[in-house]
Structure 1
Amino acid sequence: MMQILRTVAELRTRVRGWKEDGRQVGVVPTMGALHDGHLSLVRAAKRGCDRVIVTIFVNPKQFNNPADLEKYPRTEAADAALLAAEGVDILFAPGPDEVYPPGFATSVTVSGISDPLEGAMRPGHFEGVATVVAKLFGMTQANRAYFGQKDWQQLQVVKRMVADLNIPVEVVGAETVREGDGLAMSSRNVRLDALSRAQAPGLYRVMSKVAAAIRNGGDVAAALDQGRADLVQAGFAEVEYLDLRSAALLEPMTTLDQPARLLAAAWIGGVRLIDNIPV
């Protein structure tokens, strides 16, 4: 039966027992409002580990917009029911003071890879992500941690942090889970009104077209320019970025001469959507 724990002391007591029995522990860090994308990570963790912890914590340090933090969906009871049905061992749902107690004064910054794209559009975001993920790794003492590839830049930031700080956890990136019409699953999708939800799959559709053009030898700059115009035509109010970047270091690319990702962020119906695909 799944346990819901809220303190690090309780969590560590349970994990210590598992480790003494030689169990492999997996963790799926989330901010709740769970969907099938999250559950696919849980299932991957169940396949790869003996015990699975899912964390739910809406991390205030990774929101640069207070209104966005306030509007972020919080559905712990429904999330807990989903996780129990998946056979999760522990739901760790600490309060803000448990994660950031009075006097907390440390932050983790991953330079370089965190600077462009989301880092440029959301100042302080990746510092908040790296700090809370480092804490969750320390709290859970997990052997493996599971993240979705939809947040590609976040995945690379976490991998860089783990390598640089010698954190003993294997970071596993799982494929993006999509709706039948191609829209990447996201907790933010519930905020789309009916019209915006109908138009939102245009992001993946346009990105797929751009990626195909680049793979077929088309001029990268021209393909990206056309893609940005097509997104506006598809109903997106603002395109923050549509860029071709190297897959591992997220450096700008003008020719397809190494593994690459096409990454995008755009607004529709007052909701900010992000996505990425390999090229």
Structure 2
Amino acid sequence: MPPASRWEPPVSTSPSDRVLALVARAAVLADVRREVEANHDDNRWWPTAVTDFRVRMLAAGWSSRVSYRMIDTYARVIRDAAALGFDALADSTDAEVASLVAPLGLPRARIAYLRSLSEVTQGWAKDGIDPATGPLDADAMIRSFAEQVHGASYKVAQCALLYARGYHCGIIPVDSGMVSKLAPALGLALPPGPAAHEQMRHHLEAAVRSRPSAYRALAARHALTLPADAAPTWWTHLVLIYFKRLYLNRPSPRLCPQRPLCPSVLDCTHLRP
């Protein structure tokens, strides 16, 4: 008698259901869980020790084109920038800023981002706009930031607004790897170009909003602090970003070859024997 095949739940055609299924599977993986717990309450890329929203937005831009292997170097640069303060940075010469960001590379781009961000934040101050705590339309602010700040794509704008407002503000930033690797795994059809980052963000945020209690129950199994009044969008972002990094960037041999992934995600019947 042939061996019984493993039962697998049916594939849902709902994007929200597929997001929840993948998050549920990824969240129990030991390596993903370890990274999420280490970065949830105080993220290495966007540390809570930085309090000036302008420096936070600066850090979001300066994290661009920085590999995970350079995170300690990046963290040191951001600590030095925060110690100087945003106003002092804005008043620094290009040579002084170039010396600060030299370990990260691309000094011209990082200087241009600082100068442009300084102009935009000065305009906000004159207009009475507080992107950190004031009421705002997140979609409009992200679009405006991406258009007005030199070098700030949609993905940088998403990160900048998330960090400025705090981890639990409801924004799920989407990087290029999430568009190219994670979206196909979830069966999300996205438009070409930068707009894909915004559309995927909307998909992911809508998925969490549709089942907040389910995501909260999953997050509660991890050793971290989740505010009672916040949907676990930040936790969901971390689960997805670390699953992408650990299992999709260099596809794991355990990964389902189908797109979208089957509900088992790993070690499924679709793998060759």
Pick the structure with more strand per residue.
1
Work out whether the TM-score is over 0.5: no
TM-score range relative to shorter protein: under 0.3
Higher helix share: 2
State the TM-score, normalized to the length of structure 2. Answer: 0.25
